[in-house]
Amino acid sequence: MKSKFMHAAIRISLEKMRANCGGPFGAVVVRNGKIVGRGWNQVTSANDPTAHAEVSAIRDACRRLKTFSLADCELYTSCEPCPMCLSAIYWARFRKVYYANTRKDAARIQFDDDFLYREVALPISRRKLPMKQLLRKDALKVFAEWADKPDKTPY
């Protein structure tokens, strides 16, 4: 059964790559033995650097299921997730992830996420992208209001 879903993710990656929709990546979200979300790399076709296969599949599944939690779902992806996708996967609360190609396989075809894996592990002051904190006190007021908001939807 699991190989059936991985074949679906790989098939999407091949079909959409051949159609010039983006890079060679595909993903499916599975709930109770049924595909409830599909995604493929759409970075170049949608001009969206966040439109990776996993993120696209998560968005599709959440839209279809009308929820922001995929805690009762599994993700099948044609390649080990990049740091951005991995973060989205954790936020979506998947119970399990299956992947086919490794990040080293992806690096061999010029998709090298290793820099990002190393970069996010560094303290902010040592990262290549300069970051400067501004107006923390003003922003903390919003956080304080959220903490006291009686009608919020926690996540």
Residues 65/15, Cβ–Cβ less than 8 Å:
no
Residue indicated by tokens 């051949």: 18
Q: Which of 26, 3, 1 is nearest to 13 (CA)?
A: 26
- Transcribe 1-58 into DSSP letters: -HHHHHHHHHHHHHHHHHTTSSSS-EEEEEETTEEEEEEE--TTTTT-TT--HHHHHH
- Active-site residue, from 54, 74, 80, 145: 54
Q: 145 an active-site residue?
A: no
CB atoms < 10 A from the CB of 112, how many?
14
Gap between the Cα atoms of 137 and 143, Å rounded: 10
CB atoms < 10 A from the CB of 57, how many?
32
The residues annotated with a catalytic role in the active site are 54
